[in-house]
Amino acid sequence: MDKYYITIKKEHSGKRLDKVIPDVLPQISRRQARKLIETGAVSIDRKRNRTLSRPVQEGETVIIYRGSETRTVNPDESPLEILHDDPWFVVINKPSGTPADATREGLRGTVIDILSETFPGKTIRTVHRLDMGTSGVMVVSKTAAATRDLNTQFQRRQVEKSYQALVHGQVNKESGRIITFIDRDPNDARKFRSVACGGKEAQTEYHVLSEYSLYTLLSAVILTGRTHQIRVHFSEMGHPVVGDRLYGMPDDPAPRLMLHAASLAFRNPRTGEMLSFEAGIPSIFSEYADTSG
């Protein structure tokens, strides 16, 4: 991967980012610059930026991460399982271990990277995220209008999301609802925790699906969409998700985070029709529970 640095000079101050990059780096066309910005491959003063029209200022440092040239991938040959594809959005079954987006500088091989190769010329944007270790249903927009509509649906809690999680221990209550307020953990910037005051409301409903000798398989519906919400709630309940080395045991031997986005329902941003998509739980959940218990 190539890495380019630009220190903004006076003559470029106030100009759009997508114009400055090709002005300073003629080997990158404006079309390529726009795509690099949209896919999260450009940062300003070490903060990722996706805004094409963002005016740069004198003294700022722009970093561009550029891999191999974009190639077209047949959707049938995509490394992602595509559950639905139309001109406005695509629904995938994200595998565990694939990051949804470039949350760290230089992180590549993301869902956005793969779909940008699969659908060249489209404005591929995430409208929600799954943790890198989480598998399952995820919708990604392909147009600016679809991005706006889907973002609004998520913000207004009009989207129905359900998960399945294999957790440590035996959960005594057959079902329940957890309501807390979640905020970032001041002792560990990677983590979140429930707090007595402040934070954002988080609601999780759960019920038991299966019981094993050492584990319980739960279904979870999140009524809010806070970062790490299910992982925080189940850990604080005394039943961390299997394979969660951040909120559970640091040396948990499970091969992956046993959390799966099982279904997702939302309105078609073009027609308003209610759509629902499902992805079956990976077999490794039951296989691990059977062999480890």
Q: Provide the 8-state DSSP code for 69.
A: P
pLDDT value, residue 107:
54
- Domain CATH for 102: 3.30.2350.10
DSSP assignments along 167-193, one per residue: EES---SSEEEEEEEEEE-TT-TT-EE
Tally the domains of the chain. Answer: 3
259, with CB counted inside 10 A (0-12, 13-18, 19+), is buried
Under the banding of pLDDT at 50, 70 and 90, the label for residue 49 is: confident
For residues 153 and 275, give the distance between their C-alpha atoms in angstroms, rounded to a whole number. 13
pLDDT value, residue 69:
44
* 168 shares its domain with 102: no
Domain boundary among 27, 44, 66: 66
* 192 shares its domain with 209: yes
Helices (H) and strands (E) in the chain, counts: 6, 15
Share of the chain above pLDDT 90, in %: 67
Residue with tokens 């299966």: 210
Please state, rounded to an integer, the average pLDDT across all residues of the chain. Answer: 89
Q: Would you say residue 67 has pLDDT above 70?
A: no
Furthest-apart CA atoms within the chain: distance in Å: 68
* 218 shares its domain with 281: yes
Under the banding of pLDDT at 50, 70 and 90, the label for residue 131 is: very high
pLDDT value, residue 70:
42
Active site residue 131: yes
Domain boundary among 66, 93, 113: 66
pLDDT value, residue 279:
95
- Name the nearest CA neighbour of 110 among 49, 40, 50: 40
Handedness of CA 141, 94, 33, 6 (dihedral sign): positive
* 207 shares its domain with 287: yes
Under the banding of pLDDT at 50, 70 and 90, the label for residue 242 is: very high
* 174-190 burial: b if 16+ Cβ within 10 Å, else e: eeeebebebbeeeeeee
Q: Provide the 8-state DSSP code for 276.
A: E
Domain boundary among 39, 66, 93: 66
For residues 112 and 125, give the distance between their C-alpha atoms in angstroms, rounded to a whole number. 7
User: Of 44-48, 131-135, 230-234, where does mean pLDDT reach its minimum?
Assistant: 44-48
66, with CB counted inside 10 A (0-12, 13-18, 19+), is middle
* 79 shares its domain with 148: yes
List 18, 113, 131, 149, catalytic entry: 131
- Note the pLDDT tens digit of each residue in 103-123: 544 456 789 888 988 888 888
Under the banding of pLDDT at 50, 70 and 90, the label for residue 72 is: very low
The pTM assigned to this predicted structure is 0.73
For residues 15 and 159, give the distance between their C-alpha atoms in angstroms, rounded to a whole number. 38
Domain span at 250: 160-292
